Amino acid sequence: MDRYFHPKEVRKLLKSKLLKSEMRAAFLLLIPVFALYIIFVVAPALTTAYLSFTQFSGFGNPTWVGLENFQRVINDSQTQKTLFNTLYFTVGTVFLSIISALFLAVLLNQPLKGRAIFRSIIYLPVVAPMLAVAFVWKFMLDPSPSGLNNYLTNLFGLGAQQWLSNTRLAMPSVILVSVWKALGYNMVIFLAGLQGIPEQLYEAAEIDGANFFQKFLYITIPLLKPVTTFVFITSTINAFQAFEQIYGMTSGGPANSTYTLAYLIYVKGFRSLKFGEASALAVILVFIVFIFSMLYIRQIAKEK
Amino acid sequence: MRNGSPFNAVIIYILIGIVSIFMIIPFVWMTSVSLKPSGRVFEYPPRFIPSPATFENYRIAWDRANFSRYFINTTVFAVVGTLLTVSLCSLGGYVFAKLRFPGKNILFMVVLFTMMLPFFSVLIPLFLIIKNFPLVGGNDLLGKGGIGLINSFSGLILPGIVNGYYIFLFRQFFIMLPDELIQAARIDGCSEFRIFAQIMLPLAKPALATVSIFAFMNKWNALVWPLVVLTDPNKRTLQVGLAIFQGEQLTGAQWNELMAASMISLLPTVLIFLLAQKYFTTGIALTGIKE
């Protein structure tokens, strides 16, 4: 006769057996994912750290040079200018992105006819390749006397402007294009945030006699704080890695005034073949981005 | 705020109208210039409707500048890359969401940690790994002697398959699905892989659609990785082709051809956006910003 099992016992037995097969399955299923993960994410990250302490041109073996790369890039005037530019670009892009996306989201949150069409138009640049739109902007900003730029500046009485070949105007132009490119994405995030604010709050404020600006200042802004933080951090992380717009519009010029960190890593690595120095710059980039990532993760943890 | 805003509808329409013009003018101008014959590119005053209009620039970009080839290369890269990305990242996301195993939290921390790793910080090692990949492209077991996976389709596609961000998105989605389905299937003796592939994956269609679209867009629009890994002109993607084509233009006289080439490179993503708009906003909801 078969041995009698108590239902509790059956459950326990089944559970442990199932748990074992579940564990085995988990590891088997994760093998392909983690194999690729280790080769193409973890190993490269560690290699960057190692290469930043070496001198290496891609041929032969890297030579250990200690902190020399870091000393060199920190004392290099081009890197200093690049770090300043990257900061300038990031602050400009993030600040303008938040202001303009929030403003547009508030406008488009009103019940308007044709709202969906406006939203699509504003989102369009997000899906286009950055390089292609960088080229059309470069063309539109072309200073030739018969170009669109000259026509429009004359129309508004501004006079001819050398947007991309003037050291003072080049960076603001690149910032403007970057804000234009990401505006739709940031706007959709703010819209999602606005739609999450309960209507009753506004109604209650109205009963108390609050006007539009008071409602905006004391209800919308505080309740949008998590969304604003999200936009702030993602835009900052993206801005620190800006590349295509620089590559397509200015190539870092004029007079290095639009060199940014990502562009300098590319040039140092693949044009000058200074893999060690480029890796030192990459470590600096990781360091900056990680500070912002940690802020982001802390924010998410606080929300949960 | 919806009620009693100080702006009336007319003012709002004017403001949104101005912004919309600013957003769309580059696309209109690109289209217009791409249809202009060479002598008319710098006509003054500038005209938005080209007359006479010509498709000559598209023909030059498509045939002579080889953009037809780049188009095929990019399509294959983006489609195959997206399929692999979606299969492996959904699998990873599912395992982290639904299976119990020791070390899960630590492994997931690794995924989160590398999610934020800037691509530019791993660009050089990735290039070296692809170049020194053992036993391919004339390389020996130690990865020396040849070019490895440089200029190969695998070299282009492999580094972008596993993405921490997509794994995270899938995990967030799978976590919302009920455990009972999995338990019932297990009692029926269904294998763990079949539970994933035949029961859970079909339920994850919104996440699949969103990640597929994001992954496809990112691959289609990618510039820097294809630029460093492809040197053979026949293997170029559209974005690399565009970069090289611009470099070959000596003066501004061929702007119309460059604009035609740019149009070719952006039409597919713009079309996908117009056809599948709702998945672009679902993706944003999935990241956890809304609930």
pLDDT band (50, 70, 90) for residue A177: very high
CB contact B142 to A (< 8 Å): no
CB contact B165 to A (< 8 Å): no
The closest of B217, B219, B241 to B230, measured between CA atoms, is B241
- pLDDT one-digit tens code per residue, B226-247: 999 998 999 999 999 999 998 8
CB contact under 8 A, B100 and A26: yes
Q: List the single residue in B1, B23, B274 with the smallest CB-CB distance to A125.
A: B23
CA A73 distance to own-chain centroid: 24
Which DSSP string do the residues of B60-100 spell out, in sequence order?
IIIIIT-HHHHHHHHHHHHHHHHHHHHHHHHHHHHHHHH--
CB contact under 8 A, B255 and A139: yes
How much is the pLDDT for B6? 57
Chains A, B: CB pairs < 8 Å: 303
Position B290 pLDDT exceeds 50: no
- The span from the CA of A70 to the CA of A280, in Å, is 6
How much is the pLDDT for A1? 44
Question: What Å distances lie between residue A215 and A78, A159, A199, A223, B10, CA to CA?
Answer: 48, 42, 11, 11, 22
> What percentage of chain B exceeds 90 in pLDDT?
57
B207 Cα to chain A: minimum distance (Å): 18
Domain B74-206, CATH number (from 3.40.50.300, 3.40.50.2300, 3.30.230.10, 1.10.3720.10): 1.10.3720.10
- pLDDT one-digit tens code per residue, A79-88: 999 999 999 9
A1 Cα to chain B: minimum distance (Å): 25
How much is the pLDDT for B253? 52
CB contact under 8 A, A29 and B22: no
Kindly identify which residue of chain B lies nearest to residue A239, measuring between CA atoms. B118
CB contact under 8 A, A244 and B22: no
pLDDT band (50, 70, 90) for residue B291: very low
Exposure letters A82-113 (e unless 16+ CB within 10 A, then b)? bbebbebbbebbbebbbebbbebbbbbbeeee
Position B249 pLDDT exceeds 80: no
- pLDDT one-digit tens code per residue, A123-166: 999 999 999 999 999 988 887 777 777 778 877 877 777 888 88
Q: List the single residue in A183, A189, A266 with the smallest CB-CB distance to B289.
A: A189
How does the average pLDDT of chain A come out, rounded?
A: 88
- pLDDT one-digit tens code per residue, A192-241: 899 889 989 989 998 998 888 888 899 999 999 888 988 998 899 899 99
- The span from the CA of A270 to the CA of A162, in Å, is 30
CB contact B138 to A (< 8 Å): no
- pLDDT one-digit tens code per residue, B74-111: 999 999 999 999 999 999 999 999 998 888 999 998 88
> What percentage of chain A exceeds 90 in pLDDT?
56
Q: What is the pTM of this model?
A: 0.89
Q: Which two tokens stand for residue A303?
A: 């929300």
CB contact B6 to A (< 8 Å): yes
- The span from the CA of A135 to the CA of A115, in Å, is 29
Q: List the single residue in A19, A48, A104 with the smallest CB-CB distance to B125.
A: A48
Give, in degrees to the nearest 5, the angle at Cα A50 between A49 and A52.
70
